[in-house]
Structure 1
């Protein structure tokens, strides 16, 4: 119903114009019919003039009804709709804010003081007894640390693998650390290929949908790779499907 009132309000000026032109034409007809009635000689002519006058007055009444309804529909009803206040929620639907208890700060407990425990001294051998010297306990040699490798020379600063370095030896679960970003970033992907300094034959390993700044790119379990050199490649793809030169690093797997 509101749509009908909006259409009437939009075309109200044209409705008024048509009604005004019709009213002018009816005034002209009224003048003509009155002249014909005044000059009529026969009764039939006068009766016809009376019928035409009745029709003119009926049209005038209809025009008044149309103009009044148009004014009411285009002015009064839209103003009443706009002035109608918005409903407010009853009190039982109002949000109630419940206060939360603020935890008290933890009071630090006193740190126990270490007490020195006396160590019993070995008994002094009596004269004439031979002292047996204990052989020295061998110190275990530390296991050789994994080679850290050298930083890879990545051709583009937006696609960099910073750790592990190029030529590093890894085992177990390790994480590729680096940077994957672009002005029109879409996603990045990590791939691998057998051999050192591989240039093709890469297989998908992992990807990311958000840029990374010197953070974790992918977590890799070396148990899924055979021992030996492997080349890992980082590619950053933009919104157009293009990508800068990938960054490659050679790692040695030792499971």
Structure 2
């Protein structure tokens, strides 16, 4: 509504001029209709001229009323609605607050410092090599096919000295006893008795053999297992008795 009042107030002079011209035109039409009424010979012509006169006068008076209303609005109402029109037509611009973008500093890139290159190569020093200790030959158990008598230690051609533990198995059906004997390898005659037992042994110590009083050289060790029927199993191994 305030916008309409503002427009009427701004264009009031043009409204006055247009209404005035049109009103004058209809006044002129009313005067011509009046003259036509006077000159009319018939009642119908006079009545039509009279209606034409009233219509022209009505339009003219209506235009005068419009001019009065425009005058009233432009001089009284427009002053009252002026603040509203200013707020509607010219709103106060609001400044937009833009976020401040703070640039992120880039991390400093460390410049690698080149290491000095040695001009001369160091002369490699020979690493002293420790003398290798003599490796003892592996112990090989004698191959005994008879399961009733088997020797595990000492091994084939193993060098022995002092008191030697004899390890193996001595067992049989209807077991009676076993005995340990020895003699120089290749020598004739019966072997020398070492030890005897009536307890069977399975992968254990059969007895001890003291070779301290023997001369250095090759000897053959015998294990014999005897059952109640007189049958026996035998296993032998050659060893080397060292110098005392």
Do these two structures clear the TM 0.5 threshold for a shared fold by scoring above it? no
Larger Rg: 2
